[in-house]
Amino acid sequence: MRLFDLTGRTALVTGASMGIGRALAEGLAAAGARVVLNARREGPLEAAAEEMRATGADVRTLAFDVTDRAAVRAAIDGFEVETGPIDILINNAGIQHRAPLDEFPPEEFERLFAVNVTAVFDVAQAVARHMIPRGQGRIVNIASVQAALARPGIAPYTATKGAVANLTKGMATDWARHGLNCNAIAPGYFDTPLNAALVADPEFSAWLTKRTPAGRWGRVEELAGAAVFLCSDAASFVNGHVLYVDGGITASL
């Protein structure tokens, strides 16, 4: 199990105050990592950190808005100087907006790309500029089953997650030579605050359980193992890969 041991490594997780980000942070902490939780709002961030500390996890917080490029750079550069190296980045922060494509508000289209794509680039670049001189680092971007599949009402979101998947491949192509491993996790349908409206819709839930070979919604803790693997020595030669954790939905018609 030493291949999966993250003891001594520091992991920054964006969008970590709840949902998938929180679950991934807990999974990395359980594998021995020191975790740095990020979100925009200090209140929910500190509350999440305190709950995790109560379990014995080594947790710190770093509040910044991932869509503010200057704030991203200042926060990450400052942490590296004042606290130490960031060995692992989980690029998880993301948003959703549902509307028919012919009625989709242009400002929401731009906001989706700002959070789901541009911020992934900005945060990864800021962290990679420190990882590259050290000759090692792990970057895991959170894509989605929508990188491969589309559904009505979320075409722009689908476009952003397809971009994340291909950006991940580009990161690996540019940065693997410097010792960085850049991969993505593509979750299927998970019971999260982002999907609360769908979880509460009996018709959608019935469709989903029939459509998914596993026959149910995913639980966020089921993503932790994939993250630990990609961040560990067990994945030392895995680069540019998009790992679907989706109950088989992309494998079946």
Just list the catalytic residues.
Answer: 157
State how far the Cα of 88 lies from the Cα of 28, in Å rounded to an integer: 10
Q: Which residue has the tokens 């020191």?
A: 34
Judge contact between 246 and 184, C-beta under 8 A.
Answer: no
DSSP assigned state of 202: H
Q: Which two tokens stand for residue 171?
A: 């990161």
Which has the closest alpha carbon to 74: 122, 141, 117, 3?
122
- CA dihedral over 33, 46, 185, 19, signed as positive or negative: positive
* CA 145 remoteness from chain centre: 13
